[in-house]
Structure 1
Amino acid sequence: MIALASGLRVYLACGVTDMCKGMTGLAMLVQQYLAEDPFGGAVFAFRGRRAGLIKLLWHDGVGLCMLIKRLEQGQFVWPSATTTGRIALTSVQLAALLDGCEWRAPARPRRPELAG
């Protein structure tokens, strides 16, 4: 489990990305297609055609970092393309995504209806 800061900016690159790309290629995608700064401290998530692998890219203030995660079973839930090519997530949603869980509509705790 990786601890994520609560104010962390996270962006999902919608649609399919070529998973042969490394850090430099993904950073160029962030600049050109997502119109974001890959060195600004935000985390960018990419998924390929096979839905069991994702790559995360971020700059930690010293250098570019990349995390690759492959699910042993199942697929990562991913949105199709949007007009901006990206959607924003919270750090909690990213943690759910990395666990292979549904991140779009997490189950809310049920509120008790009666006190007794």
Structure 2
Amino acid sequence: MIGLPAGTRIWIAAGVTDMRCSFQGLAAKVQSVLEDNPFGGDVFVFRGRRGDTVKILWAMADGLCVFSKRLESGYFVWPEADSGKIHLTPAQLSMLLEGINWKQPSRRRTPLSML
């Protein structure tokens, strides 16, 4: 994962997004649907209808970046809401991108040091 500058806010766009969208389409969605500034330095995460693909829009000082990830199996855990945006921490974003349930992370097994 690319290191984000301190203070960068991360937002999930609730609902589904047409994954054919790229720079202009995602920036337009941020402006019109999420009512935010796509060039303000925040990170916006979008999910496709099938749930196995996400795109991330991030404006840096010299231009827009779009990152994409598709899971080979499983799906990305997403909020139940149909619209709006939800704030994430950098740790939650890392879990989301790994396919981990960022809403209720749990250990799969107890570490040996805790036995």
Same fold (TM over 0.5): yes
Query: Structure 2: how far apart are the matches of 1:51 and 1:39?
Result: 26
Partner of 2:33: 33
Is there any run of 5+ residues in structure 1 with no aligned partner, and where? 111-116
- 2:94 is matched with 95
Q: What is the aligned partner in structure 1 of residue 67 from structure 2?
A: 67
Which amino acid is 2:106 matched to? Answer: A
Aligned to 2:7: 7
**SS of the residue aligned with 2:29?**
helix
- State the 1:6 CA deviation: 4.9
Contact 1:16 1:46 in 2 (8 A): yes
Letter in 1 for 2:67: L
2:113 maps to: none
Cα distance in structure 1, aligned partners of 2:106 and 2:48: 27
What's 2:78 paired with? 78
Distance across 2 between alignment mates of 1:80 and 1:26? 21
TM-score by length of 2: 0.86
Query: 1:79, CA displacement in angstroms?
Result: 1.1
Q: Which residue of 2 aligns with 1:114?
A: none
Aligned twin of 1:23: 23
Q: State the percentage of identical aligned residues.
A: 52
Kept in 2, the 8 Å contact 1:76–1:100? The answer is: yes
- Please list every run of at least 4 consecutive aligned residues from structure 1 whose deviation after the TM superposition is greater than 4 angstroms: none
- Matched residue count: 108
- How far off is 1:107 after superposition? 3.1
1:59 CA drift (Å): 0.3
Unpaired segments ≥5 residues, structure 2? 111-115
Q: Distance in 1 between matches of 2:80 and 2:39?
A: 25
- Cα separation, 2, equivalents of 1:21 and 1:81: 21
Contact 1:8 1:90 in 2 (8 A): no
